[in-house]
Structure 1
Amino acid sequence: MKGYLFLENGEKFEGELTASSNQEQFEGEVVFYTGMTGYQEVLTDPSYKNQIVVFTYPLIGNYGINEQDFESKKPHVAGVIVLECKDATNHYEAKYSLKEYLDKWNVPLLSHVDTRSVVKQIRNHGTMQGYLAQTETKGCSTIEKFPVSEVSTKTQVSYGRGNKHVVLLDFGCKKSIIESLVERDCTVTVVPYHTTYEKIKELKPDGIVLSNGPGDPKQLNPYLPTIKKTIEKYPTLAICLGHQLVALSFGADTKKLTFGHRGANQPVFDTLKNKVFITSQNHSYVVDELSLKKTSLTARFKNVNDQSIEGVAHRTLPIVSVQFHPEAHPGPSDSSWVFDDFIESLLNVRREKQYA
């Protein structure tokens, strides 16, 4: 059936709408993803909660949906927009077509859309709210929601049986982050985002990981004192939203980019190793570089394209944060060494305690 994307600035884009739900409209923040592949990981990444994703590559769905590459148990996107969606699948692992998978979870799909024009609107005017519907309605809410509570674990869960114990604060964690730690001989205890310092201390971790997640990091301001107290006591790796929370907890500031970084080809410069590598990213907010001057943090990683902060390090404590995704799902594995460096920091602290 014929359907439309309505943007909050008044622009309208026509396409073919597939939606199994009788819902009148589907609202979300309209963003775009530039990767040629990786749509399955994008759909199930909790960081995309409440977002309508425009895929810029013209053909999406040709290798279907498999049972291995999910980042969570269900899709979190509010809607999907493509130029062309492939019904048939051409991969031996495929279990569903993209349309079948979206239909199963009542996620609307708007196809045959001039995605270039949609992306130009976002690039020129910034990320904005929008909705998918058959006819124009009164519009949608422009108030940003607090989605972390919807995607964080509700109970404590453990993975792996390694000899290094990592507590992961879940703000909307991707499965592949946990897998990357388990592969490095870690026991990973995943806890809700609001877990207290006292509870974390009882778990006796060797280190802390702050996960990725959706939304404005400042919506988590009430939890910053707990986060700071925790990461000052243990070696810490923070990823994406977790990176922004590290910066905020030490007194830095964050701001929203015009249209964010979402893709699998973002070049990042490591000021310590003097190297550039390609990363996978998904974020709207960044750390304000000027605000770091009044903190104990230094900028370690920078985006080659726009010079935005891609990660920080503490001047004296074993705390490193990255805006990109070192687990590389989807995307290149150039930055997987970030996990290795984190594991080495755990071992260094363990050695120090042993010989103290």
Structure 2
Amino acid sequence: MLHLDMDAFFASVEQLTRPTLRGRPVLVGGLGGRGVVAGASYEARAYGARSAMPMHQARRMVGAGAVVLPPRGGLYSMLSKTVFDALRTRMPVLEMISMDEAFGEPQELAGADAEAVRVFAEELRALIRDRTGLVASIGAGSGKQIAKIASGLAKPDGVRVVTPAEQRGLFEALPVRKLWGIGPVADEKLRRLGIETIGGLAATSSTEIVSVLGATLGPSLHRLAQGIDDRPVAERADAKQVSAETTFAADLMTLDQLRAAVERTGAAAHARLLGDGRAARTVVLKLKKSDMSIVTRSATLPYATADLQTLVATAQRQVIDPLELGPVRLVGVSLGDSPPFGRARCSPTWTRVM
């Protein structure tokens, strides 16, 4: 199993297409007071900046030398397509996780030794570099989990092959947070039990894991920690939902302000719906309050439609007056259950900052 991850993709694209940025700390993301980092170059990461960090914090870490740029979604999508079209000439079946990472399971590597896998991975990296000028890291292992961990260990600009013989020793030492599916909350719960490594999780009884992580998540994570991962690579179906979000520099305090925001954000989601050649039945309104709590409300129409007025009106019916709900800092509108009615294509959703 291979996991390919483009290195610092958004920032690398900016440095590739704007040569004067090479070697400089680049931050891609929202430029407003509440903007979030979508991508950081390795030069910026050296200062502690990272994706999903508030932009003001990242800029403070990097200092006056930071180059802050808004995302260019169309360019990223184009280069992503070039990368994965090239990869499909060697691996026809790819499971794309996002526009910059995917799993592959090439048939020609069945039964191959570690050196043959390494050579194949290097050929893929050379193919990407030749077609786009971009750099990728690749991890290889017996399943998706270990391949993803291996690609993280390969960064930046490398290949890491983890053999079955190495896997147990690697898991014994790795922090449990490295396990796909373990977030801050689960990590804290496990630490209270004294479980800090993947090996420690594997050695804990399944009964105890279920009591801490629940009957749904617990058993699957326990199996992954034990190196049991038989999930196949499968092409993902076309997205069945499009959405748009807007984060505001100042909280929305009145009903009129909120309705105007829903109107604009709904129109942005509708534009993506039409661009994907889809209709929608389900409309979801997402409101993030100033205390960071999130309220979502949804409504399902009796029929699918691509009519802007109908869809935005449905979103407006889900609105809660900020005087009742509290100040609102983010508005999102999602249009779902949307089977293609024409040529479908997938495009990323960007969060705008206002």
With the length of structure 2 as denominator, give the TM-score of the two structures.
0.25
If you compute each CA radius of gyration, which structure gives the higher value, 1 or 2?
A: 2
The structure whose residues are more often strand, as a share, is 1
Task: Give TM-score, length-normalised by structure 1.
Answer: 0.25
